[in-house]
Amino acid sequence: MPLKNTLKVHRAKLGLNQAEMGKRIGVSRQTISLIERGDYSPSVTLALKIAKACDVSVEEIFYYEEDNDEGDA
C-alpha cells in the first residue's frame, strides 16, 4: 500500500493512546491502529480530521510512496 503516514509520531507528541485519539476524531482504537500500520487508508474527510486533531497539515501526516515491487522486467 503506497500511502504512508506518521500518525503514531504525531499521536505520541500529543500524549494520546490509540483509544484517546480515536475518541477525539470519532473512530475506534482499531481504526487508528489500522491506519498507523498502513493497513487502512483513511477517507479524505478522516485524514482532514486527523490532521486537525494533530494541529498539522494532512501532508505532514500522510504521504504517497510508489510501490517498486515490480522487478526489473
| CATH number of the domain enclosing 30 | 1.10.260.40
pTM of this structure: 0.86
In a domain, 50, yes or no: yes
In a domain, 64, yes or no: no
* Owning domain of residue 48: 3-57
The per-residue pLDDT for range 7-20, each reduced to its tens digit, is 999 999 999 999 99
Q: CA dist 26 to 1, 29, 58, 62, 70, Å?
A: 24, 10, 17, 19, 37
In a domain, 70, yes or no: no
Strand intervals (E) in 1-73: 3-5, 62-64
Question: Does residue 49 contact residue 25 with C-beta atoms inside 8 Å?
Answer: yes
In a domain, 37, yes or no: yes
Number of domains in the chain: 1
The per-residue pLDDT for range 18-63, each reduced to its tens digit, is 999 999 999 999 999 999 999 999 999 999 999 999 999 999 999 9
Q: Give the 3-state secondary structure of residue 64.
A: strand
